[in-house]
Structures are given as C-alpha cells and as structure tokens.
Amino acid sequence: MIYLDAAATLPVRREALEAAWPYLTGTFGNPSSHHAVGEAAAAGLEDARRRAAAVLGARRSDIVFTAGGTEAANLAIKGLALASPRGKHLVTSPLEHEAVLESVDFLRRVHGFSVTVVDPGTDGVITPAALGDALREDTTLVSLAAANNEIGAVSDVAALAAVAHDAGALFHTDAVQAAGWIDLRGLGADALTLAGHKIGAPKGTGLAMIRGRLPIEPLVHGGGQEGGRRSGTENVAFAVALAVALELAEAEREEKAARIAPLRDLLLEAAERAGAVLTGPREARLPGHASFLVPGRSGESVLLDLERRGVVASSGSACAAGSDEPSHVLTALGIDREAAQTAVRLTLPGDLTAAQAEQAVGALAAVLGEG
C-alpha cells in the first residue's frame, strides 16, 4: 500500500513513543504533586515545553499543551477574543478548518462579535492587501491558516501578521498543516496552533503557542494547570511525545521538502496530462500537496479505483469525510458544487520514496485514463 493521505494523519514515530514510555511507567507521577515522583513528571513536562518552544521561536511560558489541534484553535480564538478589551470584530477566511470557523461562529452567535470574511481569490492565497481591506478600528483578532489542508495553499503569515498588527489587532495562525513543511519561527503571530498526529506524535496531542502572557479566557476551568490557561492534570507522556516529534519534523524539514516537492510535481503532471484541473496555487503550495478536480468523474470513484491499485488518498479534509456536502473550501474559491464533488487530494508523507511515487503515478494515470 502507498499512503498518500498524510494531511489526514501519520503513524506515530518510534522516537516519540520511546520518549513517552517512561512517563507512562516509572515516571508516572502527577506533575502537580509536591514529592519526588510528581516533581520528576513536572520536570519532564517542562522540558517538553522548552523543546517545543525552541522549535517555534517562542518562550517556554508561551506553550500550552492541549488534546489536539481543534482544542488548541478553540482556546486561541475564543480565549484571546473574549479576554481582549479592544473590540468585538473578528477577521477570518472562508477556507479555514472547521475548528476555526466554528469557533468564530460561536463568538458571533453567543457573544455578539461581528465577523468579516476575507476574499481568498481563485487560488486560495490571502493577500496582505485583502486582509487590510477587512480590518476595522475595533478588530480584535485575525485568524488565518499558515497552510490549507485541502488545496495546499501557503500563506505569507509574517506579512499578514504585520498588517494585522499595524491595525492594532492580534493574529492567530492555524499551523496544523504547515508543521514539518515550513519554518514556524519568525512568523510574527501572536498565537499559533498545531496538532501532533500530523507530525508523528499520537492523536490527541496538540499545543497552542500564545505569546507574551497575553490575557486569555480559558475554555476549561479547574485547578489552574498550564499557567491557568487549561486546567486538568497534564498528559506528560503525550506532551513529551509531541515535543520530540516536533523537533524531528523541524530537523528534517528542509531536506524533506526538497526531496518531496519533485515527487508531488510528478503526480500533478500525471493528473493534468489526463485532464485533471489543479486546485489551489501552483507555486505557493505545500511541498507534499497535490490537489485537483477530475471533470466527469466522482472524486470518490477515483479514490476507490486508486485504492484497488494500492494507493490510499482522500478527497479533502478527513474531518468532513462522509458528508454529502461539497467542500466549503472549494466552493469558496468559486468552484460549483458539482465540480467540487470531483476533488482528489494526494498528500505525500515525508518518507515516500521515488519508487513509490512512480508506482502512484502509474496508478493515477491508469485510473484517470480509464475515465
């Protein structure tokens, strides 16, 4: 089997499991306990926090460990917006992950925030000029992804964050898909969120990087763990696993991107030769992301035929799998509902070999040729 659904999830790395194991066994203490067993666990947790912060160019105190990217996004968006005295206006795009869109909508419905949605253009790349047009004097928070999970579009987060800051607004970026593919240091975001299972940590791991002790309203109240920003006994083992996976992803990032991008291009070229239509940008695209429409074919039928030939892929976000509705990302780009149902997304893991890519190209050419 050739796995081309890395944007959905990846296997847990052995290094992450081995680093986590001691905190599930001998060093099992509650990190809030004031005795040797608890203090050993607390030391492991703080070391994980330090290591994650180093990868992100942040301070140790900026890191909040969560139970995944969805929780992290909810915490950053709701927490920063509700704690800010600046105003009740939010800016986002129609291309964001459901965790972002639903958090923003919650603030609109329940807390009376107004929302401006930035026009993403036809390629899904939000420009600083488009963001500038959406900002107001009372904008408190902007939330735009560093990279899109369905079309692979990569944003210039540093430029977007600078525009938001010039207007006095905070900036959050969902970096779930960007982690391990682009440099997450120096982006200038006030908050950054990611999920561990996209980079080789266990599912149910994530973090929110929230800079400089910005005021934040916690979502989970209780004993005041994580600096009062997320109560509940910390999952030390998974925090350690996430930090290790993040370090490894960063260490391998440049080599991986340089090796995988040409393999992605082989797949895109094969698809386009067979009449497929690229979705998202051609240049500002994640190195491992190939997405396209297959006119006249159901995307799901293409995926089934690929799986019969040993290639596993998807039509888009795993969070929307099984829905009869077309992708909200594709329809926001002006693609009609019928065409959006023909979408195919091939996302390459970092360990994909050239031989496997060639096999996948052959399978793709055969499947699309049969259409």
Residues with catalytic function: 319
Cα end-to-end span (Å), the chain: 22
Three-state DSSP class for 234?
coil
C-alpha 318/C-alpha 316 separation (Å) is 6
What's CA 221's distance to the chain center, in Å? Answer: 26
Whole-angstrom CA distances from 45 to 18, 22, 193, 224, 225 are: 15, 12, 18, 15, 12
Three-state SS sequence of 187-202? CCCCEEEEEHHHCCCC
To 10 degrees, what angle do helices 354-370 and 236-273 make?
50
Q: Specify the DSSP class assigned to residue 318.
A: G
Three-state DSSP class for 278?
strand
C-alpha 318/C-alpha 229 separation (Å) is 28
Which secondary-structure segment (H or E) carries 370? Answer: helix 354-370
